Amino acid sequence: MFVDTAKIFIKAGDGGDGAVAFHREKYVASGGPDGGDGGRGGNIVFVADDNLSTLADFRYKRKYVAQKGENGRGSRCNGKKAEDLVIRVPRGTLIREVSSGRIIADISDKEPVIVAKGGKGGWGNTHFATPTRQTPRFAKPGQPGEEFEVKLELKLLADVGIVGFPNVGKSTLISVVSEAKPIIANYHFTTITPILGVVRMGPDSSFVMADIPGLIEGAGDGLGLGHQFLRHVERCRLLVHMVDVSGSEGRNPKEDFRIINEELKKFNPELAERPMIVAANKCDLTDDEVVEDFRKFIEEQGYKFFPIMAAISYEVEPLLKEIQEQLSKLPPVVRYEAEPALLPDIDELNEVDIKVVNKGGVFFVEADRLLRVLRMIDFNDTDSLQYFQKVLESSGVIDELKKAGIHDGDTVSLYDFEFEYME
């Protein structure tokens, strides 16, 4: 089954906890603290796999959790970093955050992409030794890894998309110009999944063509199979609009052309501006006058026109050469840029669960909802720092610190960020 959307939950691994340990060695008095740091939790990494062509596997497994980092040990031994969890998806998969809808990554290249970062390991008690605190009996726990629900959306990577009504010959064309073997039959919706084929024009020249199934009137509103697969047209650099010029289905070819263009525009206005070539198929089933009349209709609108008989490859070669020439002048296949996460409004952080613990004069603050905000703060930027100060006040962190008995000059530890408290 062809599946091109899926929702899954991902959670990167938590960082390992820092160790509380003291050096013990014969003839060495008061060896001091030597607890090691915890290891970093595993990242969630997405990578493109050309052996996959569908997101069907994600229908059965919807939760992906990376391993936790190893805890620190004595003798200043740091915990081992956890292995990353690698998730393989078809090339061309977009990853969106469900809660915000923003694009996190476009898995279209060979490079792996870290989508959720593992938590940093906690500090061992070695870090908390001071001239006045020589035997710290506390350490810092590891940070939780990032976690959220994501939507996977497959948008096929094809240079050329063939669009048109059902049964006009799209599958036949792709079968004669490439090695693709779609099912071909004389009934509507024979092709129920997009078909990709590589068209080779020479030793060092080729392009990818996609047969986009199921476009009918109303496809842009979800009728037929069109709405389900129109997303796969969005990346195509060039469209080949195939029309049954003979009207063998009892339809008017001019009306067919208009309807499909309207559906493309309705789904995504940018598609109406995409370069297009018109292929008039089944020329052998009608008169030359009909073909010439349709040619005039198409060329008046500024499109290149190619009458073909796909089943016997008649005049298909000129069409392919025109496709090749146009592709040479067009920009590469669309890649979607990752969208930055937006800092939440201060008002959204009014109700935050906060835990403050005083350990040897260091006030440890835990507030899971603030962790993600903290990861987005640029501490070298004045405006960002002012925003963070307001967050600490509005979320209730400052009030909780006062309740815990904090004084001027005391250290506050908020995950991996430490600062000196000042009234």
CATH number for the domain spanning 129: value is: 2.70.210.12
Are 147 and 186 within one domain? no
Q: What are the tokens at 275? A: 């370069």
Q: Is 373 contained in some domain?
A: yes
Are 272 and 364 within one domain? no
Are 147 and 164 within one domain? no
Give the CATH number of the domain where residue 391 resides: 3.30.300.350
pLDDT score, position 207: 92
Are 219 and 88 within one domain? no
Query: Do 192 and 225 form a contact (C-beta atoms < 8 A)?
Result: yes
Give the CATH number of the domain where residue 170 resides: 3.40.50.300
Q: Is 337 contained in some domain?
A: no
Q: Which of 299, 329, 359 is the last residue of a domain?
A: 329
Are 175 and 140 within one domain? no
Integer CA distances (angstroms), 328 to 133, 270, 277, 332, 333, in order: 70, 20, 15, 9, 12
292: part of which helix (H) or strand (E)? helix 288-299
Are 9 and 134 within one domain? yes
Q: Which of 122, 154, 186 is the last residue of a domain?
A: 154
271-328 per-position pLDDT tens digit: 888 999 999 999 989 999 999 999 999 999 999 999 999 999 999 999 999 999 999 9
The pLDDT mean for the chain works out to 86
Closest CA to 120 of 55, 48, 66, 40: 40
Q: What are phi and psi of 117, to 5 degrees?
A: -90, 140
Q: Is 339 contained in some domain?
A: no
Query: Do 416 and 143 form a contact (C-beta atoms < 8 A)?
Result: yes
DSSP-assigned letter for residue 177: H
Q: Is 209 contained in some domain?
A: yes
Are 167 and 44 within one domain? no
Strand 44-48 to 147-154 pairing:
unpaired
CA 372 – CA 33 distance, rounded (Å): 31
**Segment 48-56 mean pLDDT:** 89
CA 297 – CA 254 distance, rounded (Å): 8
- Name the least confident of 95-99, 139-143, 199-203, 213-217: 213-217
Are 182 and 315 within one domain? yes
Are 46 and 140 within one domain? yes
Is residue 374 pLDDT above 60, yes or no? yes
Q: Tally the C-alpha atoms within 13 A of residue 278's C-alpha that lie toward its C-beta.
A: 24
CA 331 – CA 232 distance, rounded (Å): 17
Are 249 and 297 within one domain? yes
**Segment 174-186 mean pLDDT:** 74
Task: Select, from the ranges 313-322, 353-362, 383-392, the one with the highest average predicted confidence (pLDDT).
Answer: 313-322
As for how many domains the chain has, the answer is 3
229-274 per-position pLDDT tens digit: 677 788 889 999 999 999 888 889 999 999 889 888 888 888 888 9
Q: Where in the sequence is the domain holding 91, given as residue range(s)?
A: 1-154
Q: Is 194 contained in some domain?
A: yes
Closest CA to 39 of 84, 3, 7: 84
Are 237 and 185 within one domain? yes
Q: What are the tokens at 51? A: 């052996």
Q: Is 306 contained in some domain?
A: yes
Query: Do 376 and 391 form a contact (C-beta atoms < 8 A)?
Result: no
pLDDT score, position 223: 47
CA 144 – CA 160 distance, rounded (Å): 44
What are residue 314's DSSP bridge partners? 309
Are 56 and 18 within one domain? yes
CA 394 – CA 137 distance, rounded (Å): 32
Q: Is 250 contained in some domain?
A: yes
CA 153 – CA 95 distance, rounded (Å): 7
Is residue 378 pLDDT above 90, yes or no? no
CA 319 – CA 283 distance, rounded (Å): 14
**Segment 166-175 mean pLDDT:** 88
What is the sign, positive or negative, of the torsion defined by CA atoms of 255, 259, 260, 264? positive
Q: Which of 301, 329, 357 is the last residue of a domain?
A: 329
Q: Is 336 contained in some domain?
A: no
Is residue 222 pLDDT above 60, yes or no? no
Is residue 335 pLDDT above 70, yes or no? yes
Query: Do 45 and 67 form a contact (C-beta atoms < 8 A)?
Result: no
Global confidence as pTM: 0.78
